[in-house]
Amino acid sequence: MTNPTANPTANPTTNPMTAPRTSRQARADALRNRRLLLGAAADVFAEYGTEASVTQIAQRAGIGKGTVFRHFPTKEDLLAAIVGELLDALVDTGVALSDADDPEAALLAFMTAGVELQVKDRAFCEVVGRPSLRHPDVQAGIERLCEVAETLTDRARRQGTVRQDITGRDIVLLVGGVHQTAAPAMDADPELWRRYLGLVFDGIRAVTAAPLAHPAPDHMRLG
Amino acid sequence: MTNPTANPTANPTTNPMTAPRTSRQARADALRNRRLLLGAAADVFAEYGTEASVTQIAQRAGIGKGTVFRHFPTKEDLLAAIVGELLDALVDTGVALSDADDPEAALLAFMTAGVELQVKDRAFCEVVGRPSLRHPDVQAGIERLCEVAETLTDRARRQGTVRQDITGRDIVLLVGGVHQTAAPAMDADPELWRRYLGLVFDGIRAVTAAPLAHPAPDHMRLG
DNA sequence: AACAAACCGGACCGGTCGGTCAGGTTCAAC
DNA sequence: GTTGAACCTGACCGACCGGTCCGGTTTGTT
């Protein structure tokens, strides 16, 4: 959906990654600036989080601030495009793990990849970890993430290596939670999240434990 | 330390909760406004988080913005006073649980109280969950929290109901992490954190699991 | 009652933010 | 080469922030 090489016939008003106009070909300088913008935005959002200013992104890209708003009507649209790509990449990782030999190891690898992405990218973990950004692209990406997580979880459940009462949504939420658990102490130990991922995964593997008293979530946002 | 009824001979420059002047008695209106301010700040920070504006707090208290800065030189000092009180209350809860009959249940009750506080108070969980606010009062409060958590953990460890490689700092970090895990879906289910507290506690109780590969944190902030 | 110190409050300051727009520039079609 | 639409830019706008300041008010004391 947010793949920059996607079908150019897609609706340009809902997909700013494709050609912005349907009639004429996009101009060469416009495409060049768009690439510069997306690269700079990815870097700056990753390093400074969602509160990075548009001015800062424009400077990093070497373009004017007005050009940013020409390509994306609001800052949130730009942010959603960046985070959407990251979500897509993580979904792809999950899909690739869906037919691995060891379902338990595959689920752990998926969670590891998720936490690593959050560690690397401040904006990603801020957007995924809070119900603030209601952008449809992001919502859809998270939904796809839950689906692939459910696939991975289901295989491990059938194998009997993880408890029966864990869902794909649990996994997605726990990936965010593991990162947040370690976050306050990550300056002192950048790999601390591995400790809590191990602990949480022991909880996920506790097949002999009593079922969790509280039911699983059925949807992740809105009320 | 941040108890409003604490010893009035404490250094007023480091403890804004006590009388602001050593020589004369504080004026009646000043004390009244201070109480209004602290109450309003607690409410507004709890509801809107650390980004609540000083103007908003002053309006809720029914006082002028200048009066806020008369009592606390910066917004961060006010925030630290509020959060410090909450930390003290949680430490007291932990101390009260330190001689309970069932160490395992006591540790779980402590964690439950911690998550409940985070659910109720946005500012509290923002300050505890991020290494941003370096205010000494807050740092000291977190340190005391880790100590009482270590006491509770140690009793449960000796009893053999929790794994040997869990520390008090782990517990404090996990309390924050459990809340953050459920946070994205708490609009739909405000009690969802109970599910993940149960799951994490199963991990903590996994006495037969292999020891965690990554070592425990030895300090929580700075680098 | 009279006084001075303490206190109050909101206009004000400098700074930052997301977003707009007029005017100059560049590209591509012919 | 000419032309005009698409594009680029950075000065600018209004809103909001934390924090300051001083004229006016309140308070406790004498």
Domain membership of residue B195 (yes or no) is yes
Check residue A86 and give its pLDDT.
Answer: 98
Q: Which residue has the higher pLDDT, A25 or B162?
A: B162
User: How wide is the angle at C-alpha B185 spanned by C-alphas B184 and B188, nearest 5°?
Assistant: 145
Query: Residues near chain D (nucleic strand), Cβ < 7 A?
Result: A 20-21, 23-24, 26-27, 29-30, 32-33, 62-67, 70-71; B 25, 27-29, 51-56, 65-66, 69, 73-76
Residue A175 CA to residue A113 CA, distance in Å, equals 9
CA distances from A211 to A162, A216, B106, B149, B202 (A): 12, 11, 21, 26, 10
Check residue A214 and give its pLDDT.
Answer: 98
Domain membership of residue A55 (yes or no) is no
Check residue B34 and give its pLDDT.
Answer: 96
- The first and second tokens of residue B186, run together, are 């708490």
Residue B211 CA to residue A108 CA, distance in Å, equals 17
Check residue B19 and give its pLDDT.
Answer: 40
Residue B100 CA to residue B108 CA, distance in Å, equals 12
Check residue A131 and give its pLDDT.
Answer: 72
Are A78 and A65 within 8 A, CB to CB? no
Tokens 């997605």 map to which residue? A172
**For the domain that residue B102 is a member of, what is the CATH number?**
1.10.357
Domain membership of residue B177 (yes or no) is yes
Check residue B181 and give its pLDDT.
Answer: 97
**For the domain that residue A83 is a member of, what is the CATH number?**
1.10.357.10
Check residue B48 and give its pLDDT.
Answer: 97
C1’ C8 / CA B23, Å: 21
Check residue B16 and give its pLDDT.
Answer: 38
Check residue A140 and give its pLDDT.
Answer: 94
A53: distance to nearest CA of chain B, Å? 17
pLDDT (tens digit per residue) in A39-58: 999 999 999 999 999 999 99
Instruction: Determine the 3-state secondary structure of A220 from DSSP.
Output: coil
CB contact under 8 A, A181 and B174: yes
How many residues comprise chain B?
223
Asked if the model's pLDDT at residue A10 lies above 50, the reply is: no
| Boundaries of domain holding A82 | 77-204
Q: B150-156: which pairs have CB atoms within 8 A and are 24 or more residues apart? A: B151/B94, B151/B98, B152/B94, B152/B97, B152/B98, B152/B103, B152/B106, B152/B107, B152/B110, B153/B107, B155/B98, B155/B103, B155/B106, B155/B107, B156/B103, B156/B104, B156/B106, B156/B107
pLDDT (tens digit per residue) in A151-199: 999 999 999 999 999 999 999 999 999 999 999 999 999 999 999 999 9
- Name the residue among B30, B8, B158, B184 with its Cα closest to residue A142: B184
Domain membership of residue B185 (yes or no) is yes
pLDDT (tens digit per residue) in A60-71: 999 999 999 999
Domain membership of residue A67 (yes or no) is no
User: How wide is the angle at C-alpha B155 spanned by C-alphas B152 and B160, nearest 5°?
Assistant: 125
pLDDT (tens digit per residue) in A97-153: 999 999 999 999 999 999 999 999 999 999 998 877 789 999 999 999 999 999 999
Tokens 């109450």 map to which residue? B39
% pLDDT > 90, chain A: 81
Per-residue flag: B30 CB under 7 A of strand C: yes
- The first and second tokens of residue A40, run together, are 């700079």
Domain membership of residue A25 (yes or no) is no
Dump the DSSP string for A90-152.
HHHHHHHHTT-S-HHHHHHHHHHHHHHHHHH-HHHHHHHTSS----HHHHHHHHHHHHHHHHH
Strand C, nucleotides < 7 Å from a protein CB: these are: 5-12, 16-22, 26-29
Closest by Cβ to A183, choosing from B129, B200, B209 = B129
Domain membership of residue B216 (yes or no) is no
CA dihedral sign of residues A37, A42, A44, A48: positive
Total structural domains in chain A? 1
**Which protein residue's Cα is closest to nucleotide C28 at C1'?**
A27
Check residue A89 and give its pLDDT.
Answer: 98
Check residue A12 and give its pLDDT.
Answer: 34
pLDDT tens sequence for chain B (223 residues): 334 333 333 333 333 344 443 456 778 888 999 999 999 999 999 999 999 999 999 999 999 999 999 999 999 999 999 999 999 999 999 999 999 999 999 999 999 999 999 999 999 999 998 877 788 999 999 999 999 999 999 999 999 999 999 999 999 999 999 999 999 999 999 999 999 999 999 999 999 999 999 999 987 653 2
Query: Which nucleotide lies closest to A21 by the C1' atom and the CA atom?
Result: D6
